Structure 1
Amino acid sequence: MATNATYLEVLQWASSFLAHHKREEYAAERLLLDLLGWDKTKLIQSLQAEIPEAIKQRYQAAIKAHATGMPIQYLTGFEYFFDRPFKVTADTLIPRPETEEVVARVLAEIDSLQAPKILDVGTGSGIIGLTLKAERPDAAVTLTDISSEALAVAKENGKQHQLAVRYLAGDLFAPVTKEKFDVIVSNPPYIPEIDKQLMEDVVLEHEPHLALFAENDGLAIYQRFAQELSTYLKTPGFAAFEIGFNQGQRVKALFQQALPTAHVWYEKDLAGNDRMLLIQL
């Protein structure tokens, strides 16, 4: 490609290159916009302009990396969640729209609760706990994760968005012994190991397995939550867990058996899949 290529020519090359490697062509535009920090209007206005050589080289390298399976978000270093950019790395999961639905459900549930004390277990990049804090500035929010690398990313995101929350390293409830919370929320690992064969390579080969997979047919972390939740959740209190697309009945049974007096139910996402397990004590 000539050095004096236009943005349009480079974009056309990228779309064709990705299509040849059986990747979604829309990624060509998404990558260019993210690398430039532009919106689509700015790009349209600049299509016939010459692209600087340094930007072209960075863009071509990113396109080639994505063609081999590298997720866009790990190439650009961020993803949007609730219309806010959050840093992501190979130590954190990439935020997904389904998790936005879980956060929206939690916000609706606690709308009338004043200054809630919230715990986000296994926070990863911090998207859940930090978004709850951003939407509810009066909340006292604690973020925990067993991965110190992931927690470091969460801290960067909290600093970027100027959100005052507490960060604690440790496994599940270990960092908050003797504390109780009004709200406990988590998007834990829930994919059964056997489902690896069904997963896309961009996820399986690049996102952290610690945050994806769980033993006991994907239920291991829920089993631990079910046994310990009443120790850390106030009465009355509310808990929300993201779950796998077909885990609703099984996860509900786990929590209902452990918490026989609690109101336990699950709800589906906009695609009609099981998505969140909800508990009221």
Structure 2
Amino acid sequence: MAKKTYREVLSRASSFLEEQGKEGYAIEFLFLERKNWTKTQWLLSMNQEIDVFEEQQIQADCEALLQDIPPHYLLGYADFYDHRFKVTEATLIPRPETEELVELCLRETPESGMLNVVDVGTGTGAIALSLKAKRPEWQVTAIELSPEALEVAKENAKALDISVTFILGNGLQPIEEKIDILISNPPYISQAEWSLMDESVRTYEPKLALFAENDGLAVYEQLAEEAVSRLKPDGKVFLEIGFQQGKAVQQIFQERFPEKKIELLQDLSGKDRMVYLHS
């Protein structure tokens, strides 16, 4: 029997997935992650003989991808802002666009001692833990509505040895003291967008973390109302938004904070992605 190389087996698997209307690169991504190989290691090793167990793993991953299971759920983790976070079907998979939200918050908030920071809808804890890692002096509170997601966030905090305060709750309702920064990647997809979403997202990612009423604006309306009594006079708000929601979210916050500047910022793809409220 002719020996099979990594390249041959992966090429065949990728082509098979493409023929079935799936993303062929996903199997290559899974393979490199499971091997913990860089692209350079792949180029140096791709013509080596593959063993039977690795071939069986590729076949199993292909079958899972055909069922639209997201690759990160198969791995059980996702990398975000220099850290590795556990993910489960109870949590949204952290996206690169959200890293831009974290970067914006850090860039616009110079190291200035202890600030009271609240992350609403923390999910895996990616935003809260990433901020705390870069600004250890900040007092960071992470709020989450899903008990299952909150447990995952706590596990991530323990694994990363980063200390933040976790609260099971809805929006800013659990917060009584004044805060310096509100940051959130809330549910913002409207039910009307259901048919436009990738099947893997629709089937496996938690709907609680994805969908909101009132054309996806309900949570922004809630946060704006709750922030009125909780945000310090010089406080800031950083929000991730759907690419078609910029003007609407700006208006929601401008009505409640008429004295504030509200900027609409784009992600690296040039799409409206962040709203930044400041003095």
Q: Could you tell me which amino acid in structure 2 is paired with residue 242 of structure 1?
A: E
Q: Could you tell me which amino acid in structure 1 is paired with residue 32 of structure 2?
A: L
Q: Distance in 1 between matches of 2:107 and 2:126?
A: 17
Q: Distance in 2 between matches of 1:64 and 1:3?
A: 24
Unaligned runs of 5+ in 2: none
The answer as to 2:79 corresponding to 1:96 is: no
In structure 2, the CA distance between the partners of 1:8 and 1:137, relative to structure 1 (3 Å rule), is same
Which residue of structure 1 lines up, in the alignment, with residue 63 of structure 2? 64
Q: Is the 8 A contact 2:228 2:256 kept in 1?
A: no
Offset at 1:165? 1.1
Which residue of structure 1 lines up, in the alignment, with residue 206 of structure 2? 208
Q: Could you tell me which amino acid in structure 2 is paired with residue 57 of structure 1?
A: Q
1:248 maps to which of 242, 246, 249: 246
Secondary structure of the 2:26 match is helix
Q: Distance in 2 between matches of 1:24 and 1:60?
A: 15
Q: Could you tell me which amino acid in structure 1 is paired with residue 9 of structure 2?
A: V
Q: Could you tell me which amino acid in structure 2 is paired with residue 274 of structure 1?
A: D
Secondary structure of the 2:229 match is helix
Give CA-to-partner distance per residue, 1:221-278, whole Å, 9 cap, x none.
Answer: 1111111102222221111111110111111111111222222232122222211111
Q: Is the 8 A contact 2:111 2:135 kept in 1?
A: no
Q: Distance in 2 between matches of 1:277 and 1:138?
A: 25
Secondary structure of the 1:42 match is helix
Secondary structure of the 2:204 match is coil
Give CA-to-partner distance per residue, 1:15-55, whole Å, 9 cap, x none.
Answer: 12211112222222211011222222333333233333333
Q: TM-score, normalised by structure 1?
A: 0.93
Which residue of structure 1 lines up, in the alignment, with residue 5 of structure 2? 6
Which residue of structure 1 lines up, in the alignment, with residue 109 of structure 2? 110
The answer as to 2:59 corresponding to 1:44 is: no
Offset at 1:170? 1.0
Q: Distance in 1 between matches of 2:148 and 2:51?
A: 35
In structure 2, the CA distance between the partners of 1:3 and 1:59, relative to structure 1 (3 Å rule), is farther
Q: Is the 8 A contact 1:3 1:53 kept in 2?
A: no
Give CA-to-partner distance per residue, 1:84-116, whole Å, 9 cap, x none.
Answer: 221111111111111111111100111143222
Q: Distance in 2 between matches of 1:61 and 1:145?
A: 33
Summarize the alignment of residues 114-125 of structure 1 with structure 2, pairs less than 5 Å apart: 114-125=113-124
Summarize the alignment of residues 184-203 of structure 1 with structure 2, pairs less than 5 Å apart: 184-203=182-201
Offset at 1:153? 1.2
Identity %: 44
Which residue of structure 1 lines up, in the alignment, with residue 260 of structure 2? 262
Q: Could you tell me which amino acid in structure 2 is paired with residue 179 of structure 1?
A: E
Which residue of structure 1 lines up, in the alignment, with residue 28 of structure 2? 29
Q: Is the 8 A contact 2:27 2:58 kept in 1?
A: no
Which residue of structure 1 lines up, in the alignment, with residue 177 of structure 2? 179
Secondary structure of the 1:245 match is coil
Q: Could you tell me which amino acid in structure 2 is paired with residue 58 of structure 1?
A: Q
